[in-house]
Amino acid sequence: MGACFEQKDIFPSIQQAIEHLCKRKGEAFHEEIIDELLSEPEASAVIDRAVLRCPEHSRRGMTGIMVAWLSQRYGSRPGDLGDFSRRFERQGHGSSPCSYRPSE
């Protein structure tokens, strides 16, 4: 997704959002992660820069792409995510977006 954003710029914010949601609720769902990112100033700045680079996407749409990128990376190249893939399990929900919860 290098045309719109870089992994290194948004991944820390996504990880933090998932950690926060898991502490509060035990699990982090796709739409909740998006909401958390949109409400966090540092993530919002990254999202705004990405939308400037790719104006065909709304802020919410771009944020969804960022969260979907993490899910795809988790499934295909978990080593790229450092200890995140060991600390959190991705849960599939049929055709719905994935959620994350702490590993047991």
- Digits of tens for pLDDT over the chain (104 positions)? 579 999 889 989 999 999 999 999 999 999 999 999 999 999 999 999 999 999 999 999 999 999 988 877 777 676 666 777 778 877 875 556 788 888 87
- The 10 Å Cβ neighbour count of residue 43 is 21
Cα-to-chain-centroid distance, residue 40: 13
Range of the domain at 52: 10-84
Helix (H, G, I), strand (E, B) or coil at 60: helix
Is residue 92 situated within a structural domain? no
- Answer whether residue 15 is part of any domain: yes
Q: Does some domain include residue 95?
A: no
Within a domain: residue 78?
yes
Contacts of 36 (CB under 8 A, 6+ apart): 17, 20, 21, 28
CA separation for the pair 28, 91 (Å, rounded): 10
Q: State the total domains in the chain.
A: 1
Q: Is residue 57 part of a domain?
A: yes
* 51, part of any domain: yes
**Stated pTM of the model:** 0.86
